[in-house]
Amino acid sequence: MTLLLLALAEANAFTSLLGLQRKLDHQVRKQIFTKSGLTAEQASLLIELEGTLSFGAPFQSLADPDGCVGFLDLAHRLTLTSPGLSRRMSDLETRGWIEQRPVAKAAIAGQKRHGNSKRFIITATGRKRIAPVVRGLMALSGELFKGMTFEQRQSCYEIIEMLRERAEELARKKK
């Protein structure tokens, strides 16, 4: 009986996560992305390159000391395939919202990156484009997490990150 209750609780938690994801996705797309003229993917990439939401958050910005973010780091954070990310980054670069930067030899040694590695940085035009989206997300986040302590928010992020990593492991096993 205890195993059955545990299985039901896990199934309920899983379906609750899926329901929350659908509700948040709908709200964010409707209230924030549609108004900005950006797709969800474009906004997510620009936000990660801007690093604005990382300041004061329980997770670290992906940016290196030069303000650049590595291709593989972006792919991992946003759970995108390399070809999918490459297409999206080309689109943002064509629009002038991001720039590709070379990997310095010192960074290769210190970060174990190959010389062909790609790094990207957001441009001033990209920052201007993403600013209203960041403001909208911060307002929505404030409402969503209202009344929660920093520790509760951090625990929430840590659990979500652990579940994301496990989902990635499952996906790799199925390949």
Q: Which strands, in side-by-side order, build the sheet including 98-101?
A: 69-70, 119-122, 98-101
Q: What is the pLDDT of residues 29-78, one digit of tens each?
A: 888 888 888 988 899 899 889 886 554 454 567 788 888 888 888 888 88
Q: What is the pLDDT of residues 99-108, one digit of tens each?
A: 998 876 544 4
Determine whether 35 is exposed, middle or buried from the number of CB atoms within 10 Å of its CB (0-12, 13-18, 19+): exposed
**Cα 29 from Cα 44, distance rounded (Å):** 12
Amino acid at 55: F
Q: What is the pLDDT of residues 112-163, one digit of tens each?
A: 555 557 889 999 999 999 999 988 888 888 888 899 998 998 888 888 888 8
**In this model, does residue 13 exceed pLDDT 70?**
yes
pTM: 0.70
β-partners of residue 120 are 69, 100
